[in-house]
C-alpha cells in the first residue's frame, strides 16, 4: 500500500490565513523550496516567541522553554519527540535542568520549510498544555 509519504513531492505553500496549528506536515523531498522571506514575514507572527537564526547559512527556528525542574523538561522533550514521530519531521532538542531548547529546520533542503513553522506551532501548543 502506498502512503502519502511515498507520493512524489508536490510543492505546497502555506496559506497566510490558515493557522499553523491546524496544518499537518507534508512530505519534503530534496530540492523542495525553502520558504521565502515573504512567507517567513507572514508566518512568524503566528509563532512570535521563536527566534529566527542563521547557522552556517542555514535559517532555523529556535525557542527555549523553561520548566521548574528536570522531570518536567524531560516530559516535554518526550512529548515533542512523539509529535515529531507522528509528523515525520524531527528537531534538534537540548534538554537541561529547567529548560529545553528546540530548533526546527529541514536538513534535506538546508533551510526552513513550511513543516518547520507547523511544528514550531505544535511545539508551542505542547508547551502551553504542559503549563496548565
Query: Could you read off the pLDDT of 43-89 as tens digits, one per residue?
Result: 999 999 999 999 999 999 999 999 999 999 999 999 999 999 998 89
Q: Does the predicted model carry a pTM greater than 0.75?
A: yes
Asked if pLDDT for residue 21 goes beyond 90, the answer is no
Domain boundaries, the chain: 35-130
- Look at residue 84 in the predicted model and tell me its pLDDT: 94
CA distance 107 to 5: 17
Taking phi first (over 0 means left), then psi (-120 to 50 degrees means alpha), and beta for anything else, what does residue 44 get?
Answer: alpha
Domain 35-130 has CATH 3.10.20.30: no
Amino acid at each position: 500500500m502506498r502512503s502519502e509519504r511515498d507520493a512524489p513531492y508536490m510543492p505546497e505553500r502555506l496559506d497566510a490565513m490558515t493557522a499553523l496549528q491546524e496544518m499537518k506536515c507534508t512530505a519534503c523531498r530534496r530540492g523542495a523550496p525553502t520558504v521565502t522571506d515573504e512567507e517567513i514575514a507572514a508566518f512568524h507572527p503566528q509563532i512570535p516567541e521563536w527566534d529566527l537564526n542563521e547557522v552556517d547559512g542555514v535559517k532555523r527556528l529556535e525557542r527555549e522553554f523553561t520548566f521548574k525542574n528536570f522531570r518536567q523538561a524531560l516530559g516535554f522533550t518526550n512529548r515533542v519527540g512523539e509529535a515529531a514521530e507522528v509528523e515525520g519531521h524531527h528537531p534538534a532538542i537540548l534538554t537541561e535542568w529547567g529548560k529545553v531548547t528546540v530548533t526546527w529546520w529541514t536538513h534535506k533542503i538546508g533551510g526552513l520549510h513550511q513543516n518547520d513553522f507547523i511544528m514550531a506551532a505544535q511545539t508551542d501548543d505542547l508547551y502551553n498544555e504542559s503549563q496548565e
